Amino acid sequence: MWKRGISMLSSSKSRLLNQMQVAYGFNACQVFSTGLLNPAEDAVSGARRKPFVTFVLGGPGSGKGTQCTRIVNTFGFTHLSVGDLLRKEIYSDSENGSMILDTIKEGKIVPSEVTVKLIKKAIEASENNRILVDGFPRSEENRVAYERVGGVEPDIVLFFDCPKEEMVKRVLNRNQGRIDDNIDTVKERLTVFEELNLPVIKYYSKKGILHKMLFILRWKEDEIHTLSHLHKKQSAYIDGTGTEDEIFERVLPIFAALR
Ligand SMILES: Nc1ncnc2c1ncn2[C@@H]1O[C@H](COP(=O)(O)OP(=O)(O)O)[C@@H](O)[C@H]1O
Ligand SMILES: O=c1ccn([C@@H]2O[C@H](COP(=O)(O)OP(=O)(O)O)[C@@H](O)[C@H]2O)c(=O)[nH]1
Ligand SMILES: [Mg+2]
């Protein structure tokens, strides 16, 4: 896997890494190779190291998956899209397949015991110590269930914020043949996001120093003020609008410390 990663370091990537070095004052090549040489097991004892986990949050179509791909390519993370893990379950002979299909179609949230088990299994199977968990936790219940099973909180939480109209436009143009990319489901997903996912984002923001946040909340103006006032120092703010390149420029500094 390491060899494969090193051969992926194409000249365009080298150029990007050099630009990052100039822009952010750190050795991006070093960051990249450290990511690759960041195995899940301790080289001497062989014991499993605590994974370095980043949760990637944001509404439907906010660009989580798109930016995760870039973070993977630049910082050597393994990307676990929880939506993808669930979709795989539908097509495997899993006992939960039809329940998952119905839940995704309706834009609701799959029970925590199912998702937490899938995430745990995927983290354990990963040879990499750096993990991006994309699209989870989607509710406080999800968050608590993960902490209970894993016994740890994430190291970083990213939140990609995007106006509703832009998210709807992106989802309806996504063109990946997803059963939930239709106007009725996306409307429901936005309601679920607001009711169940925003409290999770608020929770991590309050954690402040432990969790860096990318945070511009367009949803509830009163909360923006309170949260940004309370957590200005500890939080990193990002805007999920603009081109993919522009957004990634805002993401890069968050991982700059991972030398
Ligand atoms: N900055 C952007 N501007 C325009 N379209 C984007 C941007 N980022 C992602 N997209 C597109 O929007 C759609 C949703 O992006 P995706 O990464 O799947 O979002 P999420 O995982 O948050 O639902 C995809 O078709 C993607 O190509
Ligand atoms: O932790 C999760 C992640 C996803 N989902 C379900 O899977 C759907 C699609 O999630 P995905 O992250 O793929 O969607 P995205 O936000 O990327 O559009 C969601 O609407 C939920 O129904 C879930 O129940 N729990
Ligand atoms: Mg996604």
pLDDT score, position 192: 97
Looking at 45-49, 117-121, 202-206, which range is the least confident one? Answer: 45-49
Residue 201 has a pLDDT of 85
Highest mean pLDDT among 210-214, 219-223, 242-246: 242-246
The DSSP-derived string for 147-165 is: HHHH----SEEEEE---HH
Average pLDDT over residues 207-219: 47
* Of the candidate ranges 22-26, 44-48, 179-183, 225-229, the one whose mean pLDDT is the lowest: 22-26
Neighbours of ion ligand 3 (CB under 5 A): 64-65
Percentage of residues of the chain with pLDDT beyond 70: 72
Q: Is 246 in the pocket of ligand 1 (CB under 6 A)?
A: no
| Burial (CB count within 10 angstroms: exposed 0-12, middle 13-18, buried 19+), residue 112 | buried
- Residue 205 burial (CB count, 10 A): 22
User: What is residue 228's predicted lDDT score, i.e. its pLDDT?
Assistant: 43
Angle, alpha carbons 99-58-188 (nearest 5°): 45
pTM metric for this prediction: 0.82
The ipTM estimated for the assembled molecules is 0.99
The token pair at 99 is: 């329940």
The protein residue with its alpha carbon nearest to ligand 2, atom 17, reads 60
Please say if the pLDDT value at position 193 is more than 90.
yes
What average pLDDT does the segment 39-46 reach? 77
Count of beta carbons in the 10 Å neighbourhood of residue 101: 16
Residue 78 to residue 129: CA distance in whole angstroms: 8
Cα of 46 from ligand 1 centre, angstroms:
39
Measured at the alpha carbon of residue 101, what is the angle toward residues 100 and 106, in degrees to the nearest 5?
100
Kindly list the distances between the CA atom of residue 222 and the CA atoms of 49, 185, 227, in Å, as whole numbers in the listed order.
41, 28, 9
CB of 103 shorter than 6 A to ligand 2: yes
